[in-house]
Structure 1
Amino acid sequence: MSVVVRFLPDDVTINAEVGEPLLDVADRAGVFIPTGCLMGTCHACTVELDDGDTIRACITSVPPQAELTIHLFSDPTW
């Protein structure tokens, strides 16, 4: 199943497969998501979904839904 993933604020859209690691999708789209530990502990890769939930991109894969919108944070420390 293909999912449309949209990265804001730059409005970059790409198709991804369910289960594909979110960091891989961002990389293919040319979108930078900072990482630290790659285990979800440091929270460097925290992004926000449309519903206000926050997730850690390094340990999250694309869920089975039609569209996924990711709001990127701008953190100058990363």
Structure 2
Amino acid sequence: MKIQFLPDDVTVDAEPGEPMLEVADRAGVSIPTGCLMGSCHACEVELDDGEAICACISSVPPGREKMTVNLYVDPAW
């Protein structure tokens, strides 16, 4: 599967089940983290379908050829 990270427009290959933070790291994309348990939402990103996920506890889903991950930073975090 191809994963495109926005706004940097970086695309990387990933395997289903691969941790999202590892995919981002391999792509050279930084996703901020806090608790690494999904509680603090510092690592929250938005998928191309509008769903918000915590990247620290999420993995690449199966059954898709391409996915877009929109990164945004909460300046208050």
Any idea what SS the aligned residue of 1:13 has? strand
Q: Distance in 2 between matches of 1:43 and 1:53?
A: 14
Structure 2 counterpart of 1:74, one-letter code: V
CA RMSD, Structure 1 to Structure 2 (Å): 0.9
Structure 1 counterpart of 2:16, one-letter code: V
Q: Which has the higher strand share?
A: 1
- Counterparts of 1:1-12 in structure 2, within 5 Å, are 3-12=1-10
TM-score, normalised relative to structure 1: 0.92
Q: In structure 1, what is the equivalent of residue 38 of structure 2?
A: 40
Give the CA deviation at 1:7: 0.1
Q: Which runs of 5+ in 1 are unaligned?
A: none
Q: Distance in 2 between matches of 1:56 and 1:74?
A: 13
Q: Which runs of 5+ in 2 are unaligned?
A: none
Q: Distance in 2 between matches of 1:24 and 1:77?
A: 25
Identical counterparts, % of pairs: 67
Give the CA deviation at 1:51: 1.1
Q: Distance in 2 between matches of 1:49 and 1:31?
A: 15
After TM superposition, what 4+ stretches of structure 1 lie above 6 angstroms from structure 2?
Answer: none
